[in-house]
Structure 1
Amino acid sequence: MTAHADVIDLAQRLIRRPSRAGIDDYGPVLGVLEDWLTGRGLPYRRLHGDTGDTGDTGDTVGLLIEVTGGHPGPWWALDACVDTAPYGDEAAWSFAPDSGEITDGWLRGRGAADSKLAAAMFCGIAAELHERADGLHGGLAVLLDVDEHTGGFGGARAHLADPAAVRPAGVMIGYPGFDEVVVGGRGLWRATIAVHGASGHSGSRRTAPGAVSRAAHLVRLLEEAELPGADGEFPLPPKLTVTFCHGGEGFSAVPGLCEVGVDIRTTPAFDERAAERLVGQAVGALDVRVPAPRPTAIAPVASWPAYRLVEGGQPAAALLDAASREGLALRPKTAGPSNIGNLLAGEGIPATAGFGVRHEGLHGVDERACLKDLPAVRAVYRRALLTLLNAS
């Protein structure tokens, strides 16, 4: 079996082990990976999540492959997730979401694009470099994350927290997309807002507004808030989205509580402090204009900063140069959505994302990945790593 055929076979077997975040047991998909790695003598270990105050280890959140070079030098990391988005409406799919079949040169099934094919490819690269480890400077870590689509990024967090792991000098994340390399992304600030109101019977003579009515007023205040545009240092503007509004039950009761979710994509010029201040001003205006028995409460739930890699810095420079030498013209891109690169940036670790095969249906119906692109994508990552590891 050729190297590419071996990678494709592994990807097919991964797709046929459903690993939807928060739905499926990750044991079967991890078992496929562990059997493959063991069969090729690759050193790996499981990473476990932190259970909190107990200090005990929790569920497995990833596998970490470590290839130690024969000479001193910095370590570099590849990262791909093997948990996936849910299937959605399975009746809308034209093939089984866990088929793993190949049709007209496309690998089909949930995770084909994001990111089981990339995980298999990175395993193949690790196996190749393991055979020539004596000539490498530093080392290569390959993180196979099963806590990415939850938004918890547990594998990446566990890798960074592991005292036995060498902290990488940079990371390349294997999200799909054939024409661009993501070198930055907006950050985010998310909060749940508890909006209170006067509860009671909908048929009573009381006219005090309920929580849902007050929440609707807050949504208008948030969506009418002025945000700055893009600046010269960062190419994208901030963005505010109200993502949920939960409150009330039935028709005869006026609810006393309604929860509103707000997601703000931040930039260096409009960071998490600015986002929290904007929401605080909207909440303050609500409580003044439409008083309630209790003040509105803001509970932040997640935050990480925007980032953009320094031009010419590693590992982006090695990846872009490798693509050029393989005949590909890649564009550096700053992404609107956040990714693990934001988490890593907060730790001072530069990361690229978003270079991989062409794809369709990512997180949607009929997800598939173009296998025609695999040899070129693999060659680019291989060349970039050999440069970074100063292979001899």
Structure 2
Amino acid sequence: MSRFPIDPTSILIDLIRCPSVTPREAGALDALEAALARLGFTVERPTFHEAGAADVENLFARRGSSGPHLVFAGHTDVVPPGEAGAWRFPPFAGEIADGALYGRGAVDMKGGIACFVAAVARIVDADGDLPGQVSLLITGDEEGPAVNGTVKLLDWARARGERFDACVVGEPTNPDAMGDMIKVGRRGSLSATLTVAGRQGHVAYPHLADNPVRGLVTLLDALMAEPLDAGSERFQPSNLEVTTVDVGNPSTNVIPAEAKAGFNIRFNDRWSVASLKAEIERRLAEAARDLRLRPGKDAPVRYDLVWRSPASDAFFTSDAPLTQTLSDAIEAVTGRRPALSTSGGTSDARFIKDHCPVVEFGLVGQTMHMVDECVALADLESLTRIYETFIRGWFRARA
């Protein structure tokens, strides 16, 4: 039996049994550090702070001191499990049944971390060493506000002189089966809160009041009625979605004084954060003069727009050797040539792209964030073999 942690299932069970609901560490980083220490990694655990956000502990581990530098990025924090009684097994028990391992974080994304650690362990077990530098950049703030996580961990590493040549993020990228898809880019993300001011009054005397809901509907219509674009060569169309509308008025006979809405935009490479903000502000300023829903009013809608952080631009990774080496490894293990995609939401790759070329590949994501989140044991073995093949191939290509 190897003295190294070469079995991804055992590693993953240890991680799942830590209830690390964001932003709690709950022992997950302790379990990961123990596995990495057995492999000869130097491990550090910086904690970052920011007013208005929870303190978050993160992990940076490195093995090797020279040669090309490959980094694996991910997160040990998970979303809440919901009603525990709705699960087949307790969400943090790490139970195995019918060829699958159940638990919150099994695919998103403690499973990816377990497979990468096991892959490195197999290489060290077989070869005695790695052909260069390998690091793990692990946060506890990906499922949360992403304030005290990867973005600060990257800055912390750079300040210490760390330089990365390429990164793989272990998010679940496959829609249906292992080998389906690599993420080679992501749309940008931009959020804001829109507040419309009115004048409170009695619903029977609307001329004495100014209903902010009428103004809010007008402004939201201007944001949503005309598509932002029709997509681009590499990306699907941008979309703006209103995520909340709040008036906070318990009475049916009182016109409220204020109405709010929140929205998020996922946008492609036809926009930057700056140009998209300008377009939204232009639409709002123009719509504020539309008085159709406000009979008897002659002043524009009074509103305030607050942009929320973090915002991120769309990006596309054009590092052909990185994507080809990973694609070759996937095909060698699964027999499938993966699609190169920019679909889906955002990930911490949006921060890593500013430091080195980055791609994403992990498990099948069908059960992520769901009750009875689980991963097939066969998929854990496949992903471990893919990572092992990729690591060897990437260093060979860099030699």
Give the equivalent residue in structure 2 for 1:189.
190
1:202 deviation in Å? 4.1
Amino acid at match of 1:380: I
Q: Deviations over 1:193-223 (max 9, x none)?
A: 1211112344555454322332222222222
Give the equivalent residue in structure 2 for 1:63.
59
CA distance in 1 between counterparts of 2:272 and 2:71 reads 28
Task: Please say if residues 180 and 331 of structure 1, whose CA atoms lie closer than 8 Å, have aligned partners that are also in contact.
Answer: yes
Task: Please say if residues 115 and 383 of structure 2, whose CA atoms lie closer than 8 Å, have aligned partners that are also in contact.
Answer: no
1:369 aligns with 2:383: no
The more displaced of 29-38 and 265-274 is 29-38
SS in 1 for 2:320: coil
Amino acid at match of 2:271: F
1:83 deviation in Å? 0.5
Amino acid at match of 1:352: V
Are residues 313 and 230 of structure 1, via their aligned partners in 2, closer, same or farther at CA, if it must alter by over 3 Å? farther
SS in 2 for 1:288: coil
Task: Please say if residues 7 and 121 of structure 1, whose CA atoms lie closer than 8 Å, have aligned partners that are also in contact.
Answer: yes
Give the equivalent residue in structure 2 for 1:136.
131
Task: Please say if residues 236 and 267 of structure 1, whose CA atoms lie closer than 8 Å, have aligned partners that are also in contact.
Answer: yes
The TM-score with structure 2 as length reference comes to 0.85
1:133 deviation in Å? 7.1
CA distance in 1 between counterparts of 2:220 and 2:301 reads 18
CA distance in 1 between counterparts of 2:274 and 2:237 reads 16
Are residues 160 and 4 of structure 1, via their aligned partners in 2, closer, same or farther at CA, if it must alter by over 3 Å? closer
1:62 deviation in Å? 1.5
Amino acid at match of 2:380: L
CA distance in 1 between counterparts of 2:269 and 2:35 reads 42
Equivalent of residue 318 in structure 1, options 322, 325, 329: 325
Task: Please say if residues 187 and 343 of structure 2, whose CA atoms lie closer than 8 Å, have aligned partners that are also in contact.
Answer: yes
Task: Please say if residues 239 and 264 of structure 1, whose CA atoms lie closer than 8 Å, have aligned partners that are also in contact.
Answer: yes
Are residues 218 and 382 of structure 1, via their aligned partners in 2, closer, same or farther at CA, if it must alter by over 3 Å? same
1:135 deviation in Å? 5.4
Task: Please say if residues 6 and 122 of structure 2, whose CA atoms lie closer than 8 Å, have aligned partners that are also in contact.
Answer: no
Amino acid at match of 2:109: S
Give the equivalent residue in structure 2 for 1:55.
none
Equivalent of residue 385 in structure 1, options 382, 388, 391: 391
CA distance in 2 between counterparts of 1:263 and 1:36 reads 39
Are residues 235 and 109 of structure 1, via their aligned partners in 2, closer, same or farther at CA, if it must alter by over 3 Å? same
1:229 aligns with 2:220: no
Percent of residue pairs identical: 25
Amino acid at match of 1:263: N
Q: Deviations over 1:144-171 (max 9, x none)?
A: 2211001416432233212225121221
Amino acid at match of 1:249: N
1:243 aligns with 2:250: no
1:14 deviation in Å? 1.5
Equivalent of residue 170 in structure 1, options 143, 166, 182: 166
1:112 deviation in Å? 0.4
Are residues 273 and 313 of structure 1, via their aligned partners in 2, closer, same or farther at CA, if it must alter by over 3 Å? farther
1:172 deviation in Å? 0.3
Are residues 372 and 153 of structure 1, via their aligned partners in 2, closer, same or farther at CA, if it must alter by over 3 Å? farther
CA distance in 2 between counterparts of 1:51 and 1:130 reads 38
1:4 deviation in Å? 7.5
Q: Aligned residues, how many?
A: 380
1:111 deviation in Å? 0.3
1:114 aligns with 2:108: yes
1:311 deviation in Å? 5.8
Equivalent of residue 101 in structure 1, options 87, 95, 103: 95
1:332 aligns with 2:340: yes
Task: Please say if residues 80 and 173 of structure 1, whose CA atoms lie closer than 8 Å, have aligned partners that are also in contact.
Answer: yes
CA distance in 1 between counterparts of 2:42 and 2:355 reads 27
Give the equivalent residue in structure 2 for 1:299.
306
CA distance in 2 between counterparts of 1:348 and 1:30 reads 24
Equivalent of residue 344 in structure 1, options 347, 352, 355: 352
Give the equivalent residue in structure 2 for 1:276.
277
1:357 deviation in Å? 2.9
Report the aligned-residue RMSD.
Answer: 2.8
Are residues 313 and 256 of structure 1, via their aligned partners in 2, closer, same or farther at CA, if it must alter by over 3 Å? farther
CA distance in 1 between counterparts of 2:299 and 2:247 reads 16
Task: Please say if residues 101 and 108 of structure 1, whose CA atoms lie closer than 8 Å, have aligned partners that are also in contact.
Answer: yes
Task: Please say if residues 148 and 154 of structure 1, whose CA atoms lie closer than 8 Å, have aligned partners that are also in contact.
Answer: no
The TM-score with structure 1 as length reference comes to 0.87
SS in 2 for 1:322: helix
Give the equivalent residue in structure 1 for 2:218.
217
CA distance in 1 between counterparts of 2:80 and 2:341 reads 27
Amino acid at match of 2:104: R
1:263 aligns with 2:271: no
